[in-house]
Chains A and B, each alone.
Chain A
Amino acid sequence: HDVGMVLGYGGVMGGEGGWEVGRWGSVCAPRGQSPLGAGPDHKLRPRRQHVGAEPSDGGSRSRLPLFLNFPPSTLRVPFPSPLEAQIAHGSLAPDPEPHKGGDHIPSHHISSPRHWKADEARILRVSINSFLDHLALVIQTMEMFGPPVPR
């Protein structure tokens, strides 16, 4: 199916001892339209090394990241129609994730792919768990109170 929700995440163990994590939740648009998000959002912050990327900064070897080769993984959740996929995205997108140190990513960035850093794998786990919990709740809500009224 052409319509789905993509959840991807990958992680590297950074040279400074922190986890760097990218996660994105987005709706794949039907064929012929550009998907609502593919690839990292450069506006949020300068990119650091990501999974699979070659270290570009050869000069400072001591700061090179230690790679833990997590393959980036993707979860596709099919919806019966583009409208329902759009609704799910609309329900999950507005809330900013709490950033490290309580710093929030501005909500208007959330509809595009998002990235954030977590100092501990635990924080990453909690975040993805909560994303999936909310996704499940959206789907249950659709099952009980759907289908969407035609517009």
Chain B
Amino acid sequence: MAPGPITVLGLEGSANKVGAGLVRDGQVLSNPRRTFVPPPGQGFLPGQTARHHRGCVLALLQEALQEAGLDPSQVDCVAYTKGPGMGAPLVTVAVVARTLAQLWNKPLLGVNHCVGHIEMGRLITGAQNPTVLYVSGGNTQVIAYSEHRYRIFGETIDIAVGNCLDRFARVLKISNDPSPGYNIEQMAKKGRQLVELPYTVKGMDVSFSGILSHIEEVAHKMLASEECTPEDLCFSLQETLFAMLVEITERAMAHCGSREALVVGGVGCNMRLQEMMGIMCAERGAQLFATDERFCIDNGAMIAQAGWEMFRTGQVTQLEDSWITQRYRTDEVEVTWRD
């Protein structure tokens, strides 16, 4: 690779967030983001989300360049999210990335979204070789690095933990602004009573759909009979879901002999989850690393950072290979930048 600093533009838009970030050799120069917020009781649909992204991605790009004080000629590579995620929003952002790369005559780089989260977490926290808990609206995985792959030790066998929380928020008509998970977290702080919910850890894997069905079924009855409050339900759901996640993370750490845990993904900015993970790590004599909402929640800089690592080890994506894919597992990526 050519000597001198490498500047990478990262474009992200795999779910309801669209972001553009510029990273130069481990330094985040800019990282603006916009979120599509559907009305209470509704989720974000691919078509609507793609329309939202189309409407603001170019303004975001300009903002990112301006904030970084960069001219397009100073960008060395255009990275974008190849997958996994929702098809329509992914294509929208990929189309812009391809056009930019061709206009500026720069290499293009398709990045795995999950790898983006991991690399951003490592960059911001300085964790060397952590066991990663990746928790978001679309993904729930426990990951450890070995032999040039991020290996998935455990994962959800149905819906993601964030999806479970989002859909529970819809049942109670909790606002999606700024995000359903954030509002559940605030309500949970006022919960007083632990409602018993199914606890579904299956070996190294977890299942959330049964818990969601259960709570969907009992919520309105329990609330009507004043057996519990909405706050109690938020509290109980969080405690149950997070206990399951902590259990499988701890098992993965024990298996790998890991002394570091890193939480990434949108749910990773939940302070209660971080607190529970922190207790587990303290008991094991391990260290917990987490980031705040700027870098936990989907953003452009994380794609730029993973792209930077890939680019400096010689990876590029040819235009004809730059198709997006809704399914793209973390362990499909060859990690060329780590020993």
Question: What residues of chain A have their CB less than 8 Å away from a CB belonging to chain B?
Answer: 86-88, 90-96, 98, 107-108, 111, 130, 133-134, 137-138, 140-142, 144-149, 151
Are A148's CB and B105's CB within 8 A?
Answer: yes
A134 and B95 contacting across the interface, CB-CB below 8 Å = yes
A-B pairs, 5 with minimum CB distance: A91-B98, A87-B102, A141-B99, A91-B99, A94-B323
Proximity string of chain B (81-100) to chain A, C-beta cutoff 8 Å, 1 when within and 0 when not? 00000011001101110111
In the complex, are the beta carbons of A148 and B103 less than 8 A apart?
yes
- Pairwise interchain contact A149-B323, C-beta atoms closer than 8 A: no
Query: Which A residues touch B62, using CB under 8 A?
Result: 144
Q: If A91-B95, A95-B94, A111-B320 touch, does A141 touch B104 (CB 8 Å cutoff)?
A: no
A88, A137, A145: the one contacting B54 at CB < 8 Å is A137
Q: Is the CB of A92 within 8 A of B58?
A: no
Chain B contact patch, size range:
20 to 34
* A–B pairs, 16, beta carbons within 8 Å: A87-B102, A87-B103, A91-B98, A93-B320, A107-B320, A107-B321, A107-B323, A137-B92, A137-B96, A138-B95, A144-B58, A144-B61, A145-B58, A145-B61, A145-B100, A145-B104
A60 to chain B, nearest CB (A): 38
- The answer, among A91, A95, A134, for a CB contact under 8 Å with B102, is A91
Query: Are A141 and B88 in touch, CB under 8 angstroms?
Result: no
The verdict on A138 contacting B99 (CB below 8 Å), with A98-B87, A149-B105 known, is yes
Q: Which of B58, B91, B105, B321 contacts A141 (CB 8 A)?
A: B58
- Other-chain contact of B321, A94, A137, A146, A148 (Cβ < 8 Å): A94
B45 CB within 8 Å of chain A: no
A148-B102, A149-B104 known; A94 vs B61 contact (CB < 8 Å): no
B69 at the interface (CB under 8 A from A): no
Query: Which of A137, A140, A146 is within 8 Å of B103, CB to CB?
Result: A146
List the A side residues contacting B91 at CB < 8 Å.
95, 130, 134
| Inter-chain contact A151/B323, CB cutoff 8 Å | no
Is residue B322 contacting chain A, with contact meaning CB distance below 8 A? yes
Among residues of B, the one whose C-beta sits closest to the C-beta of A106 is: B323
